[in-house]
Structure 1
Amino acid sequence: MNKNEKILDVRDVPNWPKWLTLSLQHLFAMFGATILVPFLTNLSPAVALVSSGLGTLAYLLITKGRVPAYLGSSFAFIAPITGAMSAGGVEGAMVGSFLAGLVYGLISVLIRMFGLNWLMKILPPIVVGPVIIVIGLSLASTAVDMASNDADGNYSLTHLMIALVTLGVTIIATVFFRGFLNIIPVLLGITSGYLLALGIGLVDGSQVKAEWIELTSASGVGEFLTALFQVPDFVIPFADYNPLNVLTLNIVTIMVPIAFVTLAEHTGDQMVLSKVAGRNFLKEPGLHRSIAGDGIATIIASMLGGPPNTTYGENIGVLAITRVFSVFVIGGAAVLAILFGFTGIVTAVISAIPTAVMGGVSILLFGIIASSGLRMLTDNQVDLGDKRNLIISSVILVVGIGGASVKVPAFNLDLSGMALAALIGVILNLVLPGKEKGYGNGKMFEENEEIKENAEDSAA
């Protein structure tokens, strides 16, 4: 098969058996990473699956059914969600996620009007790259603690062994497996670690057993469906809490700045997706639409109690391998995710995953996040031998990873970690002379000139 040949184009509808199979592939590709985020932030994995599916469907509608992208839980928001929950509980994290989604909407309007260059002047590679590195490395201690400690927080060689096996299988699948198996290394790693932990008695299967007994003891179809499907633990504004009573300046400063950083990642995903599919999604339906879709998906998640959503590279990989670009296949995966979220036994299985297993895959995933920030610097050939670039990157890294903070009790303000690092990076980039050096070879800037022209063409 020619690598540029399309098996199914964007608007093609597959037959039912093929549709189900192809949609299941996308579900498996996103599953491991999507449930990891709520697992790390003490949110509901079932709600994350439902919000992921609903967010993807909303994204497909907003992009006029022309961008075959799946949206799952965003890793960039793990630390901010944890911080927001410390400041205002789950409700505080949801309010912050809602505001981050609004930022996406505002940015999409501005991009529709003026293109993307104004944003790149604020967030060039020398700022975004180190901030992404901070996002990954600030989570490093969490991954290591999960991998090496038991439920009581004590060091455990057994838990570490499980984590290393999980990590090893994930690495082997990533490097040596081919085809679809190469796209689901996280799911394969989690499954292997889960089975190992189950074999040595570290999995609490009581809830799974209870769900199974309830299913098998059902006497009729109605009773079976009642036992199979359960409503997840949604956290809904104005029903479970009043957002106005939760909103603080502290939550705003924790959550909102990260939205600007993930915008650069979103743009990169759209560029890669355009190359894979052989279409210019930046022009049609337009980057402003895809960003708006991402924002609406995050807003939907925040109104249900799920983590913010973002487009998934794993699913772009599935598109590249299968050459199936049908948005109906993506929509099918979204519907399956929603059904999984309402399936009680699936939720019980996910909840029983040992922390050591999640710690094992987290070691790799968090490192990949940090490495992607480094890649942004190298791809754009940013010269760190230049004093200006060296100063900006160094300050961002130490402030962000070191957990520096600015506290103003009178305004209930606590600007810390990556949010503070990003703000300082933006200020340094704007005030220090030689701004053009922050773009490196100008590759990102030149690409965004094309985006601006595309936006202007769409407006016309």
Structure 2
Amino acid sequence: MSELDDKKIVLAIDQKPKLGQWILLSIQHLFAMFGATVLVPTLTGMNPAIALISSGIGTLAFIVITKGRVPSYLGSSFAFINPIIALKLLEADPASGMPVGSFLVGSFLVGVVYSLVALLISKAGTGWLMKLLPPIVVGPVIMVIGLGLANTAVGMVTNNPSGEYDLTYVLIGLVTLAITIITAIFTRGFLSVIPVLVGIIGGYSFAAIMGVVDFTKVIEAHWIEVPEFMLPFVDYTPSISWYVILLMLPVAIVPIAEHIGHQLVLSKVIGKDLIKDPGLHKSMLGDGVATMLASLIGGPPNTTYGENIGVLAITRAFSIYVFIGAACFAIIFGFCGKVAALLSTIPAPVMGGVSILLFGIIASSGLRMLVENNVDFKIKRNLIISSVILIIGIGGAAIHIGEAFSLEGMALASIIGIVLNLVLPGKKNVKFEDMFKDE
């Protein structure tokens, strides 16, 4: 039994907290997810206010689908940053022929994939999923996500809006990174849970001192404003293409594996087997519905957040009402014009500074999965699978057949990794639960 298991439960899952306690605990979960949830739309050029609203709506839908038995918060998924950026660049180029809103269509289809996986799990169990997504495939793919975004983070820190090297930007990025690291390593309690948020606030303050921040938008914004939602058949006509499917859908294997890991860890934290009750298929369906709802209003794909699981482990307050409160606060913040305007004024080097750490952690978590599952790289099979995934994914390899078919980068690497794992001899059986060990 772990040290956490010995601690007294402050609030049971179905226990309603007192009003003051309810508000503080909910805001704490809001802060825990805030930095990462806002970072994704900022990097992809989406609206942070809509991301907040869609995360709140998605979390409420997740709670309903899981019958209030899984205390989780859903926020923006990092896995789809590169595919969304790629699709938005194509949409902005009239010569590409890519219709507006294609990235949202892709996000909706990702939610459909989650839902189909949930259906298969409910009918056939989890064994088939393990055969497709063992650590030797998922680990390198996760590494590709982090390393593939390295240039984005470094570019935000080193280059000004004109694309030129700027020492002031570098300094702001390094100060932001330093504050984030110091908060993560040297603080305890509440602050240690929100190092990204502290880093953004500290970096933003330093950027303001350096004269990089323009507060005009904040001054002109109203307190209550409805963000510009992107609605299908209103702002764009949904159109499905093979390019969208092949760019977005293969990446779904990463948040699916991430979701499974979160449910296993969360089960240990709260002392209940969530894989059986309410069932992995229920929580996976919750992810799918949340992502589809987000895409319908212009938000990024959603996923369960490990940051909030960390808060649960520290506070031992498991009440589902706390997550309902956090979701409601997120929706309210999304309709606050001042907040949305403030988010839009965050300088690129500030987001780049925290991104250096976050993207590195993503890559390192893939490496950690390989280490914790004792993947032996003396075995040629493992060495070949990981090597091919890493080089194809990071190198941006692509297959183009005419103008209608294109498969590249992470999507191509994921598919090839799955195929290699299935066809190469010497496959080792790994228990499903061993993929994500909780230390």
Bucket of the pairwise TM-score, normalised by the shorter protein: over 0.9
Q: Give the CA deviation at 1:403.
A: 0.2
**Aligned residue number for residue 413 of structure 2:** 421
Shift of 1:116: 1.1
Q: Which runs of 4+ in 1 moved over 4 A?
A: 445-448
Identify which of 54, 77, 101 aligns with 1:51.
54
Deviation at 1:434, TM superposition (A): 0.9
Instruction: Select the residue among 55, 72, 77 that pairs with 1:74.
Output: 77
Equivalent residue number for residue 456 of structure 1: none
| Alpha carbons 2:373, 2:434 under 8 Å: kept | no
- 1:41 is matched with 44
1:443 Cα deviation from its structure 2 partner = 4.4
5 Å-filtered alignment, 1:189-200, equals 189-200=199-210
- Would the aligned equivalents of 2:259 and 2:303 in 1 still touch at CA under 8 Å? yes
Letter of the structure 2 residue corresponding to residue 369 of structure 1: I
Q: How much does 1:261 deviate?
A: 2.2
Q: 296, 306, 314: which is aligned to 1:303?
A: 296
How many angstroms does 1:238 deviate by?
1.4
TM-fit CA distance, 1:446: 5.9
Would you say the 8 A contact 1:91–1:241 is kept in 2? yes
* 1:154 paired residue among 152, 164, 172: 164
**Do the aligned partners of 1:108 and 1:289 also contact (CA within 8 Å) in 2?**
yes
Taking structure 2 as the reference length, the TM-score comes to: 0.95
Q: Corresponding residue for 2:368?
A: 375
Contact 2:66 2:282 in 1 (8 A): yes
* Gap change, CA 1:90 and 1:317, over 3 Å in 2: farther
Which residue pairs with 1:219 in the alignment? none
CA apart distance, 1:4? 2.7
Give, in angstroms, the shift of residue 445 of structure 1: 5.9
Q: C-alpha displacement at 1:89, in angstroms? A: 5.9
- Structure 1 unaligned residues grouped into runs of 5+: 212-226, 449-460
Match for residue 457 of structure 1?
A: none
C-alpha displacement at 1:241, in angstroms?
A: 1.5
Aligned-residue offset at 1:2: 8.0
- The change in CA–CA distance for 1:315 and 1:89 in structure 2 (over 3 A counts) is farther
Tell me how far apart the structure 1 counterparts of residues 75 and 224 of structure 2 sit (CA, whole Å): 22
1:13 alignment partner in structure 2:
16
* Deviation for aligned residue 1:15: 1.4
Alpha-carbon displacement from aligned partner over 1:57-107 (angstroms, at most 9, x marks no partner): 000000000100000000011011112223436501000000000000000
Correspondence for 1:24? 27
- SS of the aligned residue for 2:200 comes to helix
Identity %: 58
Gaps of at least 5 residues in structure 2 are 91-97
Distance 1:86 1:149 in 2: 19
1:353 aligns with 2:363: no
Query: What is the match of residue 276 of structure 2?
Result: 283
Q: Deviations over 1:221-240 (max 9, x none)?
A: xxxxxx42111111011121
* Residue of structure 2 equivalent to 1:344: 337
- Aligned-residue CA RMSD in angstroms? 1.4
Length-normalised TM-score, structure 1: 0.91
Tell me which of 208, 211, 214 is aligned to 1:201.
211
* TM-superposition CA deviations, 1:258-288 (whole Å, max 9, x none): 1122211100001111111111111111110
Please give the per-residue CA displacement for 1:161-199, whole angstroms capped at 9, x wherever unaligned.
110110001111111110110000000000000000111
Q: Summarize deviations over 1:108-149 as a string: whole Å, max 9, x none.
A: 010011111101101111111101100110000000000111
CA distance in 2, matches of 1:122, 1:285: 24
